[in-house]
Amino acid sequence: MQLANVVPDKVIFVRVLLACGYVGAFGMGKMVHEFIESSRFHIDLKLGTALVDVDKGMKYFKSMKDVHGISPEPEHYRCMVDSLGRAGRLQEARELIRTEDPTSGFERPITVSEVEPLVKDFSRRWKAAIALMHNVVITSFSNFFCGMEILRASLTQLLLYYTRLSDCIKRVVGGSSQNKDLVSISSIIVKDFNYS
């Protein structure tokens, strides 16, 4: 867009920042943030929310309880854990999960009957989904290297989410019955490597 002298509007900026957050491209998000600031673009509520970085988000999260006396809801914890995970700050995310008040009802036991459809669906569709992602990138991005970088980040995020799912299944009572349908992490890595 910059090469074509096209000035994006707020909607484009919000979408780009959300996409950067979704695929974990925080370096690109910071560049967009700097561009917005240097352009003296009017920052409204939606754009301002999209610009909040993890450190500011954590500051606001902590101030809920410490300053305002508001107990964070499970959704707040999930949001912070997700943000920390996307920023690669996994140890902090784990610590937040550990220190969260166990009496808050944040987590209830998951049953095998809830897990089984997820595991079977993933095992049936993961190869086709990765191939589809690859094809969309190849046909959608005029800049091949940028598209491949986004694909690589997306596949990495997929692997992180699947690793978390696998870990959760191991903690479910009777979850070992799902081992036959779980796709091995090494299989996903090999497939990711083939496309990136």
**Tokens 């673009």 — which residue?**
41
Q: How confident is the model at residue 61 (pLDDT cuts 50, 70, 90)?
A: confident
To the nearest whole number, what is the mean pLDDT of the chain? 75
Q: Spell out the SS3 assignment of 91-156.
A: HHHHHHHHHCCHHHCCCCCCCHHHHHHHHHHHHHHHHHHHHHHHHHHHHHCCCHHHHHHHHHHHHH
The confidence score (pLDDT) of residue 164 equals: 79
Picking from 22-31, 61-70, 116-125, 147-156, which range would have the lowest pLDDT averaged per residue? 22-31
Whole-number Å distance between alpha carbons of 144 and 16: 18
pLDDT band at 12 (very low <50, low <70, confident <90, very high): confident
First-residue to last-residue Cα distance in the chain = 25
> Which pair of tokens denotes residue 96?
């937040």
Q: Is the pTM of this model over 0.95?
A: no
Residue 105: pLDDT over 60: no
174's tokens: 């009777």
Distance CA 160, CA 177 (A): 22
The CA distance from 4 to 15, in Å, is: 19
- Once rounded to an integer, what is the mean pLDDT over residues 35-51? 70
Structure tokens at 167: 């870990």
pLDDT tens, residue by residue, 75-92: 788 778 777 776 667 788
